[in-house]
Every structure is written in structure tokens, then in C-alpha cells.
Amino acid sequence: MPTIHYERQGRIVLITMQGDTDLNLGCVGRELHDRLIEYRDDDELWCAVVTGAGERAFSAGADLKATAARGGFGGSFWAARTLDLLSGVEFWKPIVAAVNGYALGAGMMLALGCDLRICSDNASFGLPEVKYGFPPGMGATQRLPRAMPLGPALEMLLTGDRITAEQAYHWGLVNRVVAPAELMAEALKLAERIAANPPLAVRATKELALRGFDVTLEQGLRLESLLSHIARQTEDAREGPRAFAERRRPEFKGR
């Protein structure tokens, strides 16, 4: 059975998927989502890094051999849907994906659900579901065209082919590409830069950026005005200017 490791490092949590093989198959499931919700609801944690165990794969997706042995995916269209990170639950804390190796199928869907993506130069990305008779799920058809230009996104979705780390960077899917040995240090460094900021301001900023896709510019500007006003009433918003004036490092509390 896949295992999800949860390692707190100060204000950051490192969440590592470990499957039965070095492809980390079947890791994007209930336990992972429960851990992500645990992070979301923990006031002491301000940023998360998600990665896969080893260097071969972030996650190569579902175990299709096991699926075939079960006779298919099963389930009912009418079954009540449990919301999680990839299916629509509100999640305003930041998540960094450290993609080491293969990010395929559900593994890529998870990477798309994260806010920032850093990958090793041996990484590859793909959504092969169309090759097996069904469209990609877990929000991939919606998030991929938002994460990169429409033409390349449709090419990936309609062919099911993989792209390299270089292509992913060229198309804006990942923030940067590093050597495998540098991946975790780079991802944690980015998480630390985010966690150094007041967390309520970070969450408000993420929410504004993402909600902006679904509203008009005028509505987005109004929402920005409202959330900015709320954020300016927090203790952290008083601490930031005070620390600047006193030439010291701010001590943010998340309130």
C-alpha cells in the first residue's frame, strides 16, 4: 500500500508520496488528500512541499494493472462526491510541487493542483488517459489550459503524449528546472521564501489570483479591494510596516 510521509519543518511541511515501487503508483488518493487537509487546517503551517520518494517518479499515476484486474474503475456517476484539493475544496494555503522524474496521470493531476512547480531535469509530464479510453480527470482538463498556452495544452490532452522538463519550462508549466540533486533544496528554499511572508496576506493573494479567472475585471478589482481592506486590519499588517520602520525582521503571527 502507498504511504504518505508528513514531515514538519518549522512553518513548512514536506509531504512525500511513497508507493510500493519506485514509480509511486496509486499515491494520489484518500490518505494524501487527508494529509493535505491536515496541512490546510493547521494554523502553525504556512507552506507545503509535495514530492515523490526517490528520483524516478513524482508519481506515475494509477496502477492500471490493478484496475484491469478489478475489471475497471467501478463507481457510480450518482454517488456523492467527496471534495478534495483536486475536485474543488477551497484551499488557499500555498503548495509547491517538487517533481522528481515521472509525473503522469494522477501524478500530473496532483502537480497541476499545486500552485508552483519545480522539477528535476529528468522529469517528464503526461496525461495518457485518452489513450486508454477516457479523458483526464481530477481537474486536469480545466487546470492545464490555465497553466500553459492553449495549443500545447490541447496537444498534451488530445495525444496523451509526454513532454520533457525543458518543454514544460518553455511552455510555462513549471517555474524552474534544476539538477536532481538540487531539487529538494530549491523547493524548500522557495517554500521558505513564501513562509517568510505573513500567511493571511499570502492566502488572500492566492485566492484573489485564482478567483480572478472566473469573474470580470471589474468584479475582480472589487474583490481585491475588499480582501485588501480586511487584510490591512490584521496584526500582521501592523507588524510589517512597524518592523520596516524599526529596521528589524518582522515577527508575523498569522492573525
Residue in the block written with cell 488572500: 204
**Mean local confidence (pLDDT), 242-249:** 92
The percentage of residues in the chain with a pLDDT greater than 70, rounded to a whole number, is 93
How far is it, in rounded angstroms, from Cα 92 to Cα 115? 10
Q: Mean pLDDT of all residues in the chain?
A: 93
**Mean local confidence (pLDDT), 66-91:** 73
Query: Which pLDDT belongs to residue 99?
Result: 98
pLDDT tens by residue, 145-160: 999 999 999 999 999 9
**Structural domains for the chain:** 3-195 (3.90.226.10), 199-245 (1.10.12)
Alpha helix stretches (DSSP H) within the chain? 30-40, 64-69, 106-113, 140-147, 150-159, 165-170, 183-195, 199-211, 217-231, 235-245
